[in-house]
A and B are shown apart, each in its own frame.
Chain A
């Protein structure tokens, strides 16, 4: 963006003077005067930059609103007209991810940043027009695209260098500003389950591994925990009680409940190891054309409605997620049968790794991958497998009362209740807004399989017969329900202000674990002035992550610059050193130095007019 001429203010004043003269009617309107007016009108007038921050209300997320409010104070001090608009989680995701109607948003990202591959769908420009968590920022940077592509193809030091460069470019151009990685705080009842600390409560697989066996007590043989028939989870998120569609991005906080209902071929055990789950085994081969894999499904798998799970379902799932219309929706106005694909707003990263899938037998599937390494290719196995007999009926246009509305397919808008899944838990009942009950699925391989065929770390079927999700109005209420023995655990992480409450209660365990999903400020890079990377970079310099870590997170978070800060992929020059190494705060201890702020914006090509940051439009 070019620097507006210094005479801009003068030009505005001059035009006002001209208009005033005309308005008084005292001027002789000559041809020369008109010409001058035209010349002046060619210069655009300057108006104050205004930004709206969309985020969640305190009931849904105590941290997000604090970050948003503090950011609004900083932006206002910098001369930007700022409003904060809190909204329901579902509505926030709808406006940000599906309609791109936002300037800035503050929320926690659902992805767990364990592998650089996670950034592929978040930042690749091929997704800038895709709905969902696929590049919601509209960010387009060809260097970033190249690095995202190359980290898929190479290994070792070459990959490390590509990932480093990728993070450096992203940090400099700021499609989003990482605030901090929060600690996930949970309250759990110690008298029901004992291994809360060993399992990962952010993953469906953690819920399946809950037991009264701590490992510690095995030698002494003593354990005080006795699991009840029902695992009672209290959640501040009402959405799973209303919608169980794994494709509905606006209803999914982290996909935990749908992850319990729908199994995938493999599961992510550690940061970069994906192991067979629904698959009995897989083998990779490399040829001149690329890599392909043969996946063998476990024997005797069935969907929750009793239908057999076959290779056909797997072969259906991948093309279906890439285009939920399966070519059935024609582009309006075109003569030929040209299709406009309607991709699912989730899972596009893993799905994009797959070139073709073929069922070569009732339980054998062959995958052809795009140009990538085996390690990357295995990530394709983390998407949920969907029953073909249910979802192929949902490829038509979505309609309300028989009238087709919008461009979505039925698959994207259905509530999918009751869901026909394949997971170890199946749907039993729900009360929208209040409660969801899942029950053990007896025919799941965890119940039926012999011990040696189970994935390592899983002892068999879940120790509880039912899992219920109860909705609470806020974190405090959720913790209180656990304290009063009306729930066993807070399923959603709760805010730091509940820590003393959990600590005071004798039979509650305080579970604190550093999360891999950061809070971030996302910028809509489609809208000026946020199109300008220098403007975004200057906004990033108005954010004091250290201050926010203390004030908003009460210390229960780690500030960071890169989304991969919690991994081994973080280059040294992006490590947090008390302040951001790429966008250091323009002030000290949360207090902005207004002179430095103004200089920074002026350097970026913007101007101040009566303490207001102005842009020409």
Chain B
């Protein structure tokens, strides 16, 4: 089946990219040393990892129900988004050339998946489990908030509204739609999870830049490319991206707060109010 073919193809490309990236950014010495930490890190992070996996599985099961619920109670904001930004995506596409299209198509599928998978592998090899936990928590927060938005807001991407905007990705690479339509519904454009997750990865890469210094600029470059690709390909509005980035920032900051032992901020103040003893014991 075509869906199987493309899944295998992506799996191979991502695996190769991650191997190369691990060699380049982590380095042979730390890979060897990291094997020791890997077990400890997984042990320390497993509740978050299990939560993420459960969350993604549950999401795939209830997705159709979510779409039904969305049509029942959601607000169709496609027309308003167009009223705000007009032909911006059309303008972006007016600069299309075949090499640029090939680049952004690859970024949208491969670049994005790589950007999300590599930090998990890289931080799993690090001697502290905190970055890994933060990455996993960030993903959960992004998806969680994103899903609520998807139920509350119905938004089709520009390719579905503007006749001039071409569905570049699917026209040039029709099989990829088999994959994307399996993963998500075309009514879920607001906000852009591509943009928010990319923004989160960049923030985390910056915060832990001491761990993998060379990863930070590469992650930033990839993240910007991903955000632009969603608009260039006609999949997201600029508005979706503009709302996606703060969501990603919020998720990253929130994850750092949750995983930080100092336990300051509203979350821990709230929590300490409900469990005085637990708070005191740690201080």
A interface residues, Cβ below 8 angstroms from B: 52, 57-59, 65-66, 69-70, 83-88, 90-91, 432-433, 472-474, 476-477, 479-481, 484, 486, 551-552
Contact = CB atoms under 8 A, between A and B. Distances in A.
Contact of A474 (B64, B82, B163, B170): B170
A476 B174 contact: yes
Contacts of B64: 432-433
B163 A69 contact: yes
B2 A91 contact: no
Contacts of A479: 174
B76, B80, B82 — which one has the most chain A CB atoms within 10 A of its CB? B76
A480 B174 contact: yes
A66, A85, A90, A551 — which one has the most chain B CB atoms within 10 A of its CB? A85
Contacts of B159: 58
A486 B162 CA distance: 30
Interface of B: 1-2, 64, 71, 76, 78-80, 82-83, 154, 156, 159-163, 167, 170-171, 174-175, 177-178, 180-181, 186-187
Given A88-B71, A486-B1, A58 B82 contact: no
Nearest to B177: A473
Contact of A477 (B71, B162, B177, B187): B177
A481 B80 CA distance: 35
A87 B154 CA distance: 9
A57 B160 contact: yes
A539 B175 CA distance: 41
6 contacts: A58-B163, A83-B83, A473-B186, A474-B174, A477-B175, A479-B174
Contacts of A474: 167, 170, 174, 177
Given A58-B167, A473-B181, A52 B160 contact: no
- Interface of chain A, main secondary structure: mixed
Nearest to B234: A58
Contact of A85 (B71, B76, B162, B186): B76
Nearest to A242: B64
Contacts of B154: 87
Given A476-B170, A484-B2, A486-B1, A88 B187 contact: yes
Given A52-B79, A473-B170, A476-B174, A486 B2 contact: yes
A87 B79 CA distance: 11
A75 to B, nearest CB: 13
Nearest to A486: B2
The 5 closest A-B pairs by CB, nearest first: A83-B79, A57-B160, A480-B174, A473-B181, A66-B163
Contact of A481 (B2, B162, B171): B2
Contacts of A65: 160-161, 163
A86 B174 contact: no
B175 A480 contact: yes
A477 B79 contact: no
A615 B82 CA distance: 25
Given A52-B79, A57-B156, A433-B64, 4 more contacts: A57-B161, A65-B160, A69-B162, A83-B83
B174 A84 contact: no
Contacts of B186: 57, 59, 473
Contacts of A472: 177-178
A474 B161 CA distance: 14
A86 B161 contact: yes
A66 B72 CA distance: 26
Nearest to B63: A433
A257 B187 CA distance: 26
Contacts of A85: 76, 78-79
A69 B163 CA distance: 7
B126 to A, nearest CB: 39
A477 B82 contact: no
